[in-house]
Each structure stands twice: as C-alpha cells, then as structure tokens.
Amino acid sequence: MQKILGFLFFWGAILWAGSCRSQYLTGAECTEAYFPLLKQYRNVGVAAHAASRVGQRHLIDTLLKAGIRVSAIFAPEHGFRGEAEAGEHIKEGKDPATGLPIYSLYGKNKKPLPSQMQGMEAMVVDFQDVGVRFYTYISTLHYIMEACAEQQIPLYVLDRPNPNGDYVDGPVLDTQFRSFVGMHPIPIVYGMTIGELALMINGEGWLKGARKCDLKVIPLEKYTHNSYVQLPVKPSPNLPNRQSIRLYPSLCFFEATTISVGRGTPWPFQVIGAPDPRYGEFTFIPESIPGVAAHPPHEGQICYGLDLRDDSINTRFTLHFLQEFFKRTDNKNNFFSNPGFFDKLAGNSLLRLQLLQGLSEEEIRKSWEPELQNFKEKRKHYLIYP
C-alpha cells in the first residue's frame, strides 16, 4: 500500500506542477529578444537539458523550426533528455530526433573542447537551475563561459527562475575547497537566477585567467525574486517537485553521511532516514529505479526517519535536520561516511568540526555571517530582477 500511495503522490505532483506557476515568461519564451540575434550566425551550439523548453516544445526543436542553424548540443549532468541519475556518465552520440551531435559536459570532459566548437559562431545556454551552490549546472555554465571566452564567441544565457531565489543563506565557499560541486565563493543558497550568476562570474573575474566572456543574458519577463516558482518540468530526476527543490539545500549534506535522502523512493529529498529505529517512526525502503537511483544507499532495507513531504514545513535552509540526526547517531565519527565530500558540499572543513564539537545552529551561523553579508553587498551589483 505504501508503494502504491507513493507512486500516486509522485505522479500527482508532476502533473500538478505543470498547471501552477507564476505568470512570468522565461528567457527561452521571450523568443523575440533572441531569435533575430541567433539568426545571424551560421553555426550555433546549444547547452540544454530536459527542462529547456519553450512551452511544450524542447528548445532545440524550437530553434530549428525558427530557422536557427544549430550545429551541436552540449549536455550537462543528467543528460540532454534528463535520463541520467546523479553522478552517472553521460553518453555522447546523436540526438535521435534531430541527428545533431551530443557532447557530454559531465564526466571526464566538463568543458567544451576547441574541436567540438570548431566553426561555431555563438553558444546558447538554457539550464533550469535551483539556486544552490552544489547543484552542478552552474559549474557547467562556468566552463562554457570559459570556453566561449577562449574561443572568442558570444554566449547567450536564456534566463530561468530560481525556485530558491527569495533568500540568501549558508556559508560562503572557501576557494581551497573548490570542486565541481562548488566552484565560486558564494553561499549555499545565493538568491540569483542563472543569468544573474553568469553576470557575477564575468564581473568578478572568476573565469580562468580573469578572462571576460562576451555575455548576453536574455531576461525573464514579469519575474521578481519573490515570485512563486513551480517548475513545469523537473530539473533533474531526483528533484521531482517544489518540496524536494526547497529542501535540497538543507538535505544534500546527508549525501556524505550514513543517512538516506530518499533516493530510490518516490520521495527523493523529501524523506530522510537510516536502518535504525532511533532516527524516527516514519519508514521507507529504498529500491533501485532505472535512470533515477541505481543501488541507492540502504537498498532493500527499512529506513527509519522523518517524512518532510508536508508543504507546510519551513523549507528555507537550516542545519536542524543535520544536527538532529547527528545527535541520534551512536558513533559520531562514523556519521560522516565521506568527510572530504561533506567538506566540499559545505565549502569548508569548519562546519563538520563545528558539528563534532556540538555547537548550536545559532553559534555556527555567527561564524559565517561576516562573509555572507559581504556576498549580499556584492550580489546587489548583478541583480536583474527586484
């Protein structure tokens, strides 16, 4: 019965998402702003994924129908059609619908190669980001900007809403911990659209050699940072609805611990637990789901923990869940199954040490407040939307 209810809840959330969003227009939907610009080029590269849509049609199909000469597709994590789970190698090949070559920007090669960009006159990026530092689409954006700067071709970023864009919070990344899950000195929740962040990357000289990319952002219309964002297409397989996206900043830390975040269930990033009754009364059993969760943590085991599917829960960034599960763990040193990865997610090694020391959330927050305030001031210079 639990499995049946979970299945219905999962697909109900997906169907509901398509009919409930603010009346903004994405950059991709503002075709009159960029179609004339792209039509001047003989070869255009496009970096896109499953959520890169103009209405019900994929961006690639939209551009081709408009007569824009697309020469290659570049796919971020989760693939061009969104068929790959987190961390899975993205296969290269041809798009069956268009015959265009697809180049992976996830795995061994994270940056477009000069050979892949040969003859290219412009690049388009259309990623539905979620406004969280360790979500890798912004790292892919960084490398695309770098490649465009090196090849001296213009980059057009079709802006999209940030479902976590209404606040700024968390520790600012220490660049000693720079990795693909955190490349920039920004907080975990940075309160900027992908277009605004592109402007900051360019403006702050964060590209290799402090290069500048010839960047043009196609902005959203009728959007503010307080707009209610209900995405019509899930941005990746394990963020199926608004609740998971809003909880993601707080729950992703568990990926480096012994605690499951619900991968392999209908509720990824909405339930947390492990095979120990001390973690809570709610139970779930992770199972392999092709393209979503192959052999998830604690596969086939009953996990005890918390049910966070109730949308009345405060979903702003918090350390509360992490601290509660840490307190209930017997062997505190074993809680962090991958300490190095945890530090990369945190953007420092201090947070893990603070948890081990038993500091309160209030005490921990005070340690990152000065850098957070500095970021907020810097951020103001790059905002497009009120």
Q: Per residue in 150-189, pLDDT tens?
A: 999 999 999 999 999 999 999 999 999 999 999 999 999 9
Higher pLDDT, 84 or 315: 315
* Cβ(28)–Cβ(57) below 8 Å: no
- What are the strands, taking DSSP E only, across the chain? 44-48, 53-54, 57-58, 70-75, 93-94, 101-104, 122-126, 155-158, 215-218, 271-274, 282-284, 303-307
Q: What share of the chain has pLDDT > 90, as a percent?
A: 84
* Cβ(10)–Cβ(266) below 8 Å: yes
pLDDT at position 96 is 84
pLDDT at position 333 is 83
Position 358 pLDDT exceeds 50: yes
Position 131 pLDDT exceeds 80: yes
d(CA 219, CA 375) in angstroms, rounded, equals 22
Position 2 pLDDT exceeds 80: no
d(CA 149, CA 156) in angstroms, rounded, equals 12
pLDDT at position 91 is 60
Residues 6+ apart with CB under 8 A from 244: 238, 267, 268, 269, 270
pLDDT at position 83 is 54
> Which of the four pLDDT bands, split at 50, 70 and 90, describes residue 79?
confident
Phi, psi of 255, deg, nearest 5: -60, -20
Position 106 pLDDT exceeds 70: yes
pTM of the prediction?
A: 0.91
The pLDDT tens digits of the residues spanning 215-255 come to: 999 999 999 999 999 999 999 999 999 999 999 999 999 99
> What is the average pLDDT value for the chain, to the nearest integer?
92
pLDDT at position 88 is 45
Tokens of 244: 């998971």
pLDDT at position 95 is 86
pLDDT at position 97 is 84
- What domains lie within the chain, and their CATH numbers? 17-218 (3.40.50.12170), 242-348 (no CATH)
> Which of the four pLDDT bands, split at 50, 70 and 90, describes residue 5?
very low
pLDDT at position 9 is 39
Reported for 313-316, long-range contacts at CB under 8 A and 24+ positions apart, including other chains, are: 313/247, 315/243, 315/246, 315/247, 315/250, 316/167, 316/169, 316/189, 316/246
d(CA 117, CA 157) in angstroms, rounded, equals 17
* Cβ(193)–Cβ(384) below 8 Å: yes
Write the CA distances from 377 to 17, 198, 382, integer angstroms: 34, 17, 10
Give mean pLDDT, residues 115-126. Answer: 97
> Which of the four pLDDT bands, split at 50, 70 and 90, describes residue 290?
confident
Question: Can you say whether the dihedral through the CA atoms of 160, 163, 168, 172 is positive or negative?
Answer: negative
Tokens of 68: 């824009």
Lowest mean pLDDT among 38-52, 80-94, 325-339: 80-94
- Give residue 95's Cα distance to chain centre: 23
* Cβ(325)–Cβ(254) below 8 Å: yes
Position 15 pLDDT exceeds 70: no
Position 1 pLDDT exceeds 50: no
d(CA 222, CA 231) in angstroms, rounded, equals 16
The pLDDT tens digits of the residues spanning 179-198 come to: 999 999 999 999 999 999 99
pLDDT at position 93 is 84
Q: At what angle do helices 320-327 and 242-251 cross, to 10 degrees?
A: 60
> Which of the four pLDDT bands, split at 50, 70 and 90, describes residue 3?
very low
Greatest alpha-carbon pair distance for the chain in Å reads 64
Position 260 pLDDT exceeds 60: yes
> Which of the four pLDDT bands, split at 50, 70 and 90, describes residue 87?
very low
pLDDT at position 350 is 98
